[in-house]
Amino acid sequence: MHSLGQRVPDEDQKIGSLAIEDSQLAAAVLAKDRKATAEFVARYADSVYGYIHARLAPRYDQVDDLVQEVFLSAWENLGRYRGAGPLEAWVMGIARHKIEDYYRARLRAPESIDDPDQIPVAPVTTSDIHDFLEQSERRKKTWEVLAQVSDQYRFALIWRYWDKASAREMAQKTGKTEKAIERLLARAREEFRGRWNHGQ
Amino acid sequence: MASEHDERFMEKIAAVELAELEPAPPYLKARVYSALLVQQTETGHLESLTRCHSRGHELCVFEQLVRISPIGETAKSLNICRVCHARVLAEHMDQPPIFWPGCPYVEFKKS
């Protein structure tokens, strides 16, 4: 497999040309090498897209814009990449910041008042979900339930439990108090669990 | 107590990653690439096609024509994809009818 846009090398040219090192790729993109820029997109678009797609679902309308923002931001800041770690991790760091910005904006907005009739009362069940749901089924159900809760609850839950942000960190980034975030999370968890059990 | 129970419940749920890796659609890769080239040209020309070729990159048929033309390096540094129909098709279709080698937009639909 040769890199995107790279001529298929002769055997004696293969060493060093098959895999462009991250720092070399970054330098070539900074030099405005159009083929290296295409390689940059081809290498990381799937990871960035997969991450953002999962974090924004089911609100897919913003996914394309955010993916593009990540790459434009990466280009603007590429001069700061020192090659200390993998370029992919560096790009994914930008993607995480973009998602945090998105969550922050959504969580800062006043919380919508849900119709209490539409929220099922959370029955207290202690059934162990791992016993009867396979991983893919659980993922599917998780998405179904996340899609039913409000945007604020969904973003708060994903930010806290999948992206492992602490309540304090979320509070700092949204300008809310830690208590307010904990209350928001408590309501979000309760609604999530209620809907999860309701759908069994 | 209920909150602690919910907390543990959520931690169990979150043990499963939210999504299997979903590949980026080819049209999006094409758009991102186009946007990057536009952004790069805002602060000056792209690297010339002569240099690009000497780095070992495969050029598309149109880029080759420009590269071998008796014109200055500045002209060979323009973003010629901007006026190419391959770009327009690739930005709007996941399987655009473009096939020639050396074109990033063709490569995106394969990746």
Mark yes or no for CB contact A190/B2 under 8 Å. Answer: yes
Position B42 in a domain: yes
Same domain? For A132 and A178 the reply is yes
Q: Is the residue at A9 inside a domain?
A: no
Record the pTM.
0.75
For residues A89 and A154, state if they share a domain.
no
3-class DSSP assignment, residue A24: helix
Query: If you count residue pairs, one on A and one on B, with CB atoms under 8 Å apart, how many are there?
Result: 159
Contact (CB<8Å) B107/A193: no
Arithmetic mean of pLDDT over chain A: 80
Nearest to A45 among B32, B44, B46 (CB): B32
With respect to residue B85, please indicate whether it lies within any of the assigned structural domains.
Answer: yes
> How many domains does the structure of chain B reveal?
1
Determine the Cα–Cα distance for residues B51 and B67; give it in Å rounded to an integer.
10
Q: Is residue A6 over pLDDT 50? A: yes
Identity of the residue numbered B24: A
* Chain A nearest C-alpha distance from B40 (Å): 7
Q: Are residues A22 and A95 in the same domain?
A: yes
Bridge partners, residue B57, by sequence: A6
Mutate to test the interface with B, among A21, A25, A30, A34 (most CBs of B within 10 A): A34
* Tens-place pLDDT, residues A102-143: 998 888 776 655 544 444 444 434 444 444 446 677 788 888
Residue A118 pLDDT: 46
Structural domain including B93 reads 24-110
The conformational region for residue A16 under phi > 0 = left, psi -120 to 50 = alpha, else beta, is left
Which residues span the domain enclosing A139? 128-198
Lowest-confidence segment of A76-85, A107-116, A172-181 by average pLDDT: A107-116
User: Tokens 């999504």 label which residue?
Assistant: B19
Instruction: Identify the pLDDT of residue B53.
Output: 94
Residue at B7 is within a domain? no
Residue B5 within a domain? no
Which residues between 13 and 72 in chain B have a beta carbon less than 8 angstroms from any beta carbon of chain A? Answer: 13-14, 16-25, 28-29, 31-33, 35-37, 39-40, 44-47, 51-52, 55-58
Residue A111 domain flag: no
Segment B29-38 mean pLDDT: 97
B74 occurs within a structural domain? yes
- The domain total for chain A is 2
* CATH number for the domain harbouring residue A138: 1.10.10.10
pLDDT beyond 90 at B22 = no
The dihedrals phi and psi of B20, each to the nearest 5 degrees, come to -75, 155
Q: Is residue B8 part of a domain?
A: no
What is the C-alpha separation between A197 and A124, in angstroms, rounded? 8
The residue type of B45 is: H
Is A46 a residue whose pLDDT tops 80?
yes
User: Using a CB-CB distance cutoff of 8 angstroms, which residues of chain A are in contact with residue B61?
Assistant: none
Whether ipTM exceeds 0.95: no
Determine, yes or no, domain membership for B2: no
Looking at residue A1, its pLDDT comes to 36
Reported as a single tens digit per residue, the pLDDT across B51-98 is 999 999 999 999 999 999 999 999 999 999 999 999 999 999 988 898
